[in-house]
Amino acid sequence: MERCVIVGGSAIDNYEFVRKHISKEDYIIYCDCGLAHMEKLKAEPSLIVGDFDSHENPHLETETIVLPRVKDDTDTLYAVKEAIKRGYTDFVLVGVLGKRFDHTLGNLAILLMLEEKGMRGKIIDDFSEITVVSDSCMIKDDCKYFSVLAAGGDAHGVTIKNAKYNAHDMDIDITFPIGVSNEVQRGSSAFVSVREGKVFIIKVYTE
């Protein structure tokens, strides 16, 4: 099944970079004021959801789910849950960081939720990609920097290879951001593994 792209209402300045992570085959859900990005993303909606407290309901022919303004789930979380009901297991979230810090933290938590469900998820902002890893991953040398930070609690047995700063069986305390701003060795790929816990992998491509 194709990926699901969720578009939130936080600011996007580097539309060119974000568009590279969206394909014509993706199922695209716009959340409320995320609709403001539709023209510049050049991506037609497959579904629109929101309580429309920050953007007028456009009343398009596209399927639209109008949510109550008093609810437990944010519009973004509702969109993810609705997509899961429709069979999607691979998610890209854009426009979900930076406008409000409480929503930013909530959207990072969505990555943790997807990982616990055995699904794939990543957040794309103007210059980086964020994923959650609980086992291992490879990081290509096409990014400028990468960071490895504990996610949802301490991470144990973290190993980093083929990077400027390597580590073996290291513990990363959630209160100590020791893994910020590493670099992949040119012409190679870095390897990151976690024995216990989870880490955020943040790949920075441009600034």
Is the pTM higher than 0.85? The answer reads: yes
Mean residue pLDDT across the chain: 94
Supply the pLDDT for residue 82. Answer: 97
Query: 1 falls in which pLDDT band (50, 70, 90)?
Result: low
Question: What integer is the mean pLDDT of 104-128?
Answer: 96
Query: 72 falls in which pLDDT band (50, 70, 90)?
Result: confident
Supply the pLDDT for residue 4. Answer: 98
Eight-state DSSP code of residue 46: S
- Fold for domain 133-204? Jelly Rolls (2.60.120)
CATH 3.40.50.10240 fits 4-125, yes or no: yes
Three-state secondary-structure class, residue 18: helix
For the chain, the structural domain boundaries read 4-125, 133-204
Burial class (CB in 10 A: 0-12, 13-18, 19+), 136: exposed
Query: 58 falls in which pLDDT band (50, 70, 90)?
Result: confident
Task: Quote the CA–CA distance of 45 and 26 in Å, as a whole number.
Answer: 10
Three-state secondary-structure class, residue 160: strand
The answer to whether the CB of 121 falls within 8 A of the CB of 88 is no
Other Cβ atoms less than 10 A from the Cβ of 70: the count is 6
Task: Quote the CA–CA distance of 201 and 55 in Å, as a whole number.
Answer: 32
Of 132, 115, 193, 136, the closest CA to residue 159 belongs to 193
**Alpha-helical regions (H) of the chain:** 15-19, 38-41, 75-85, 101-116
Supply the pLDDT for residue 65. Answer: 94
32-36, 50-54, 133-137, 149-153: segment of lowest average pLDDT: 50-54
The answer to whether the CB of 94 falls within 8 A of the CB of 35 is no
First to last CA, the chain: 33
102 φ, ψ to 5°? -65, -40
Supply the pLDDT for residue 207. Answer: 64
| Per-residue pLDDT at 148 exceeds 80 | yes
